[in-house]
Amino acid sequence: MQGDTDFRFSPRPNRAAEIEWRPWGEPAFAEARRLGRPILLSLSAVWCHWCHVMDETSYSDARVIARINEAFVAIRIDNDRNPDVNRRYNMGGWPTTAFLAASGDIITGATYLPPGQMLQALERVCEFFAANRTALLALDATEHAHAADAEAAKAHLDWQYKFEKHWFRYMLWGRLGYHAGEPDTTWLGHFRRRFGAAGDDVYEAIHQSGKIAPLIVTADQPGVHVEGIVRRSDGGFVVTLFLVNGQEEPKKRRDEAWLFQPELIVEAEDGSPCFEKRSPHAMHPDRIDAAEFQEERTLAMLYRDRVEFAVGHGVAVHADEAPENPSRAVRVRTKVLPEWEVPRQTPPTDEEIPRLAGLVRDMKALAELDVDGLENALGALPAAYAEWIAQQRLRIPGTTEGLAGFHDEAGKALDGCDRALGRIREGIDLLRADAQALEAFRFANRAMWYQRTRTLLAMERRRGNEAADIADVDIPKNRTWYPFPPGPGQRYS
């Protein structure tokens, strides 16, 4: 993904544009490798007050400007234009001030830094980079972290490992220190270390059942180590890893021994998809409540095609699926904050579901609907829903699509759809019979119509389009409901 060069700075007077900002993209990382410099990554947003303040203070300080241009490759990112980069590198808010190696690995970072602290950070990063220059520049340039999507903090991981592969583990955590009496959080990049070469203890451990002996991650904090256990399962191995903070808390400034947002990542040395779907947990109806058992069975049916590669204990987990085979993963990682990309839903067209032809979905039209137009406006919805339910019932007896063993759950799910269909029909009858209910229906559509179009207008103006007018956004596609049933390719189960 390449960034643009339309950098947006504070609207108030500032000198931030004097910094030699590069757009996000491979050319900037290639330049950092060629010059042998660390990268300063600034994550900003036009709506962020403190981003503007940093433009007006730290990025307008002549000493800061000179030092950045002299010793760093500076990249500036707009949060709204590059949300994937923000998810990967955000240090807890905006602005984010991150320092990276040319591979994209994080060295350290913070949020807003006033001029004095910014100068200190620049110098400390330069010193660290000079002391570790060879290791930083030797980081694998073929798998840049800047090409990855969102990554967050990691702590504990349990995954199913199926192949005779070497594997990598790499971690990141925040460590609180004090400078001039003031607390200061530094993000320690414990760069990717290779564990699992044939003949070493870890390689041997993951190819037989038993414990993985404690392994110190960095000499800077010898009390922090990784340990785990390996169990055989279905011809492969289930491996559990823990990142353990065994440091002793000092009597003063105890937080110096704490780890903030620890991150644990595991992958094969050659990037191959060595992780397979975890075996499902067997449910026993005599061991749990009947209603809970039924709910678990229904969820198992609904998500039977979702592959789970790992489970976190007290932490979320993310897996990077193999592009050519989503039933395998190339990398598993823990995440302090879980996230999920919800696919955008678009309403089915009349061509996809002919029964929906004539259904009025425009909120403006519904806000002006009279009782005589109810049947023509809404009648297609229950008719299409009923047809869809009948089609789904025909699928239940089969053994395809993974429904074998879920016939009872599928039937009960469609019974729920029948009840919903009955409520839709009763609702339309109520609108026809009760003038007050019809007026409330009109009011609700008018409110949603206004809210949606005014929100879009406000977004346009925040993006700098001061000439935007309500007529530009008050069009049918921006005030349309999404109807049920789902379109072709979507499933009830």
What is the per-residue pLDDT for 203? 43
- Identify the residue with better confidence: 304 or 393: 393
Torsion, Cα 9 12 14 19, to 10 degrees, reads 10
**C-alpha to C-alpha distance for 384 and 109, rounded to whole angstroms:** 54
- Identify the residue with better confidence: 102 or 161: 102
Tell how strand 39-44 and strand 73-78 pair up. Answer: parallel
What is the per-residue pLDDT for 429? 95
Most confident of 111-120, 184-193, 347-356: 111-120
Residue 357 has pLDDT above 90, yes or no: no
pTM for the full model? 0.49
What is the per-residue pLDDT for 283? 62
- Identify the residue with better confidence: 417 or 233: 417
Query: In whole numbers, what is the pLDDT of the chain averaged over residues?
Result: 79
What is the per-residue pLDDT for 240? 83
Residue 307 has pLDDT above 50, yes or no: yes
What is the per-residue pLDDT for 279? 64
What is the per-residue pLDDT for 324? 84
Contact between 363 and 481 under an 8 Å Cβ cutoff? The reply is yes
**C-alpha to C-alpha distance for 407 and 395, rounded to whole angstroms:** 9
Angle at 261 between CA 145 and CA 241, to 5 degrees: 80
Domains of the chain: 16-147 (3.40.30.10), 156-281+288-335 (no CATH), 354-478 (no CATH)
Residues of the chain with pLDDT > 90, as a percent, come to 32
Residues of the chain with pLDDT > 70, as a percent, come to 78
Residue 104 has pLDDT above 80, yes or no: yes
- Identify the residue with better confidence: 147 or 253: 253
Please tell me what DSSP assigns to residue 146: G
**C-alpha to C-alpha distance for 185 and 202, rounded to whole angstroms:** 32
- Interval 13-46: pLDDT, tens: 999 999 999 999 999 999 999 999 999 999 999 9
Average pLDDT over residues 180-197: 42
Joined tokens for residue 358: 């004539």
Residue 197 has pLDDT above 80, yes or no: no
Kindly report which listed range (29-43, 320-334, 464-478) carries the lowest average pLDDT score: 320-334
What is the per-residue pLDDT for 27? 93
**C-alpha to C-alpha distance for 51 and 74, rounded to whole angstroms:** 16
Residue 48 has pLDDT above 70, yes or no: yes
What is the per-residue pLDDT for 399? 59
Cα maximum dimension of the chain? 81
What is the per-residue pLDDT for 483? 75
Average pLDDT over residues 199-203: 42
Joined tokens for residue 289: 């409540």
- Identify the residue with better confidence: 200 or 295: 295
**357: Cα separation from own chain's centroid:** 37
What is the per-residue pLDDT for 150? 27
**C-alpha to C-alpha distance for 493 and 483, rounded to whole angstroms:** 18
**C-alpha to C-alpha distance for 488 and 372, rounded to whole angstroms:** 32
Average pLDDT over residues 413-425: 93
Q: How confident is the model at residue 437 (pLDDT cuts 50, 70, 90)?
A: very high
Average pLDDT over residues 192-205: 41
- Identify the residue with better confidence: 461 or 170: 461
- Identify the residue with better confidence: 2 or 99: 99
- Identify the residue with better confidence: 137 or 144: 137
Most confident of 57-71, 174-188, 300-314: 57-71
What is the per-residue pLDDT for 110? 83
What is the per-residue pLDDT for 281? 58
Beta bridge partners of 101: none
What is the per-residue pLDDT for 427? 95
Please tell me what DSSP assigns to residue 17: G
Most confident of 258-267, 305-314, 399-408, 423-432: 423-432
- Interval 219-276: pLDDT, tens: 667 788 888 887 776 667 788 888 888 888 888 877 777 877 777 888 776 778 888 8
Contact between 140 and 103 under an 8 Å Cβ cutoff? The reply is yes
Q: How confident is the model at residue 305 (pLDDT cuts 50, 70, 90)?
A: confident
